[in-house]
């Protein structure tokens, strides 16, 4: 699977116009691979292509092919794969990064926005996975890397559409990994990031009066892209990205009562912005290319991040103690 000077790898990247997908395009082109860029917005894809042309030239000229595609549309996904095959003769790997989300209490998110989030984030994953596995059934096999999320393992308020979709995505990927054991040469990896500095938080729909923001500790999209590209050569069942993920998942599983008490105040302190915004479907129903780029502008200095995290955890703990106090023997009124 590793590219050589004579045979660069051919990789389809969905969600290639923004954030983690766009950073992955850069990393692949830096390595000399041919990359097929897919997302809904042609404008965003062209920007990602132009931005990475220099990297490819420095590396001997890996090519880029832009194919505007809505992953929630099964036929459009089939056309994406056939365009890639027609241009390059084969497809060696697929990185699936496309997703959307909407913030808001479950009952406040319009049903059509909730359903479209599932259609893109879950059904879109199934569409891309199915096309990939059909492609990899040809001699030579191939590698599929699906970007999941820490939120495919835990729950949080105001993100029910996304949490629902990502739990299902994780379940689907685990099924595919088990089935792939009987198809030599076919590899399926899951990458599960925590908070990443991408535009997704301002691109998302919101019905909670605020935009989202990545909860600390926040990693860069380039960091996640590095893990994704590593998985192409060294498949992994679940590659977590984010220093606090293991402890967060452990808290969710081992101490669900404490987790449920803390997660809403923590979300308000660390996972939502401060400025009021009107209700919007964001990019859930259609692309908003003006907001697309690699980074989201959320990463501060390490000291600022540590301070934000300490404030969030400390503040949430104080809120939780205040709420618990009347119920504890010898504490409160």
Ligand X SMILES: NC(=O)c1ccc[n+]([C@@H]2O[C@H](COP(=O)([O-])OP(=O)(O)OC[C@H]3O[C@@H](n4cnc5c(N)ncnc54)[C@H](OP(=O)(O)O)[C@@H]3O)[C@@H](O)[C@H]2O)c1
Catalytic residues: 162
The residue among 150 and 320 lying less far from ligand X, judged by its C-beta, is: 150
Q: Nearer Cβ to ligand X, position 168 or 317? A: 168
Task: Show the tokens assigned to 221.
Answer: 């999209």
| Least CB distance to ligand X at residue 219 (A) | 8
Minimum CB–partner distance for residue 30 and ligand X (Å): 18
CA atoms of 11 and 37, how far apart (whole Å): 9
Bridging pattern class, strands 272-276 and 210-212: antiparallel
Q: Which residue is nearest to ligand X (CB)?
A: 19
Give the length of the chain.
333
Least Cβ distance, residue 324 to ligand X (angstroms) = 30
* Min CB(231)–ligand X separation in Å: 14
Closer to ligand X at the Cβ: 108 or 222?
222
* Main-chain dihedrals φ then ψ at residue 184, nearest 5 degrees: -55, 140
Least Cα distance to 129 among 91, 173, 92, 99 occurs for 173
Q: Which residue has the tokens 């241009």?
A: 87
Q: Is residue 51 a contact partner of residue 73, using CB atoms and an 8 Å limit? A: no
Residues forming the site for ligand X (CB under 6 A)? 14-21, 39-41, 44, 69-72, 97-100, 120, 124, 147, 149, 193, 195-196, 198-200, 203, 214, 283, 287, 289
**Kind and range of the H or E element at 210?**
strand 210-212
Q: Which is nearer to ligand X, 16 or 91 (CB)?
A: 16
Query: 93: helix, coil or strand?
Result: strand
């Amino acid at each position: 699977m590793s590219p050589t000077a004579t045979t660069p790898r051919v990789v389809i990247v969905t969600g290639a116009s923004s954030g983690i997908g766009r950073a992955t395009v850069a990393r692949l082109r830096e390595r000399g691979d041919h990359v097929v860029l897919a997302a809904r917005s042609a404008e965003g894809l062209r920007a990602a292509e132009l931005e990475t042309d220099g990297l490819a030239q420095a590396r001997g000229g890996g090519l880029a092919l832009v194919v505007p595609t809505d992953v929630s549309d099964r036929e459009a996904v089939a056309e994406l794969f056939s365009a890639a095959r027609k241009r390059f003769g084969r497809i060696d790997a697929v990185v699936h990064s496309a997703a959307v989300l909407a913030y808001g209490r479950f009952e406040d998110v319009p049903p059509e926005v909730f359903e479209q989030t599932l259609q893109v984030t879950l059904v879109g994953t199934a569409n891309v996975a199915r096309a990939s596995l059909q492609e990899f059934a040809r001699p030579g096999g191939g590698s599929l890397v699906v970007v999941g999320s820490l939120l495919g393992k835990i729950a949080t308020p105001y993100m029910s559409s996304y949490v629902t979709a990502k739990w299902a995505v994780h379940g689907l990927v685990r099924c595919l990994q088990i089935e792939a054991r009987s198809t030599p040469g076919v590899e399926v990896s899951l990458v599960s990031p925590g908070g990443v500095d991408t535009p997704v938080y301002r691109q998302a729909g919101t019905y909670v009066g605020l935009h989202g923001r990545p909860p600390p500790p926040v990693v860069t999209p380039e960091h996640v892209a590095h893990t994704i590209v590593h998985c192409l050569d060294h498949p992994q069942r679940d590659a977590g990205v984010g220093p606090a993920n293991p402890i967060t998942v452990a808290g969710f599983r081992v101490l669900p009562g404490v987790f449920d008490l803390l997660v809403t105040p923590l979300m308000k302190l660390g996972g939502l912005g401060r400025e009021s915004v009107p209700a919007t479907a964001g990019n859930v129903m259609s692309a908003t290319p003006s907001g697309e780029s690699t980074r989201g502008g959320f990463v501060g200095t390490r000291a600022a991040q540590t301070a934000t995290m300490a404030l969030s955890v400390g503040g949430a703990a104080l809120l939780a103690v205040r709420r618990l106090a009347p119920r504890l023997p010898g504490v409160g009124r």
